[in-house]
Amino acid sequence: MENFLFDVPTRVQFGKEKTNELSSEIKKYGKRVLLAYGGGFIKKTGLYDNIVNQFNNNGISFFELPGIKPNPRLSSVHEGIRLCLENDVDLVLAVGGGSVLDCCKAIAAGVPYEGDVWDFTGDKEVEAALPVGCVLTLAATGSEMNGNSVISKEETLEKKAIKSPLLKPKFSILDPALTFSVNQWQTAAGTVDIMSHVFEQYLVPDKGAFLLDRMSEAILKTCIKYGPVAVENPDNYEARSNLLWASTLALNGLLTQGKENGDWSTHLIEHEVSAIYDLTHGAGLAILFPNWMKYVNESEMTWKFAEYGRNVWNINEGSDADIAEKAIEETRNFFTKLGMPATLSDVDIPDEKIKEMASKSVENGSIGYTKELNKEDVEKILEMSK
Ligand code: NZQ
Ligand code: ZN
């Protein structure tokens, strides 16, 4: 294993009724909060009223940023920064899924910065940020315990990440019951996203990270067991709780510590697709990932795909090459069983922008660690996906 520093300062409050801990978590940072949320499910489910009552009972002032869209827009980030500055906010609180949380992280980075927060998607490093906390409502991104924020810029149809340890949430409240109301499509997409985060870190050439690979397989099996249960029975607490903790563990840094790298090319390609077509992130990954697997399953990586087939899908018959191929097929079948699309045309995305998406994916040079991909490689993966 490689050397590492694992430093995640996020306090995780996991379980039923944990939203009741919100005020005491917030008060460690102050009493003026930006309350950010999305399109309104938090009002329908009563979560909003619960939080507002708590704030009123605990002397917490709040300023609202509603309407944050999936694939959160830079304009919402700017609006949030303005609200924080005008109201001298102490903490940015996200109530929602990864999009709301990512928007809040970007706001937190933008408040103490004089330039445009979009600069942080390039070389500029975040040097200071407001504290961020969240009440997470969807199992998917792992944003609840990492320092990433993925933001879309409307005018240029770009979708890029800001990354900084300063953006790791100070606390994350994870009550699986809050995810009961997530619909079938988002539940399936979230499950695919969790699995994809594992794939990016597991399907790599490193051989010495036995422990990390077994942890990765455990998370994949958890998604395979409980994803379909949650899609069919949204109120199943066992399924929702396992998926929620899987989402956190899949992308809080744990699975890469001790490895040289993750691959992440499928994520970069997907971000170009959803930047242009505003597709649900997990649905884009469901289309692309099995095709990336086919594309990089070459002789020197086949042992890894075969290991995945044996340990995750219990495929034991045949050569490594046979098992690897079947494992990739199982992955596609599983995504289809969850109700996810298999091609870009399934979600009405035409093939006319494949070249553009491929060039944008590699605009900073070739991508990928498992296999280095150039523009032509990405184009081929997108062609396989159309
Ligand atoms: O609009 P609202 O009303 O908020 O409804 C949301 C939204 O429409 C709904 N939802 C969330 N919780 C719900 C619920 N509906 C009913 N009941 C609940 N409990 O679900 C819809 C999708 O929400 P969103 O936040 O967009 O989903 P997700 O958590 O999958 O986040 C996706 C975003 O995160 C980025 C993606 O690219 C995408 O922009 N990612 C962030 C990462 C990170 N920060 O580390 C890593 C990921 O790879 C990913 O790129
Ligand atoms: Zn993802």
Query: What was the pLDDT predicted at 318?
Result: 97
> Looking at the predicted structure, is the pLDDT value of residue 16 above 90?
yes
**Most informative mutation of 279, 281, 288, 289 for ligand 1 (most atoms within 8 A of CB):** 281
Q: Specify the ligand 1 atom closest to the Cα of 186.
A: 20
**Residues with Cβ within 6 A of ligand 1?**
38-41, 70-71, 96-100, 102, 137-138, 140-143, 146, 148-150, 178-179, 181-182, 186, 190, 193, 251, 267, 281
Residue nearest atom 48 in ligand 1 by C-alpha distance: 141
For 140-178, the pLDDT digits (tens) are 999 999 999 999 999 999 999 999 999 999 999 999 999
Confidence (pLDDT) at 2 = 87
Q: Whose CA is nearest to atom 37 of ligand 1?
A: 281
Of all ligands present, the nearest one to the C-alpha of 103 is 1
Long-range contacts from 244-247, C-beta under 8 angstroms, 24+ separation: 244/14, 244/136, 244/139, 244/174, 244/176, 244/179, 245/14, 245/174, 246/139, 246/194, 246/219, 246/222, 247/139, 247/140, 247/141, 247/142, 247/144, 247/190, 247/193, 247/194
Q: What is the mean pLDDT of residues 17-39?
A: 97
Q: Which pLDDT value is given to residue 227?
A: 98
Closest ligand 1 atom number to CA of residue 99: 25
| Ligand minimally distant from the alpha carbon of residue 272 | 1
pLDDT at 299 over 90: no
Task: Tell me what pLDDT residue 189 has.
Answer: 98
The pTM score is 0.98
Q: Computed from CA positions of residues 370, 301, 358, 193, in that sequence, does the dihedral angle turn out positive or negative?
A: negative
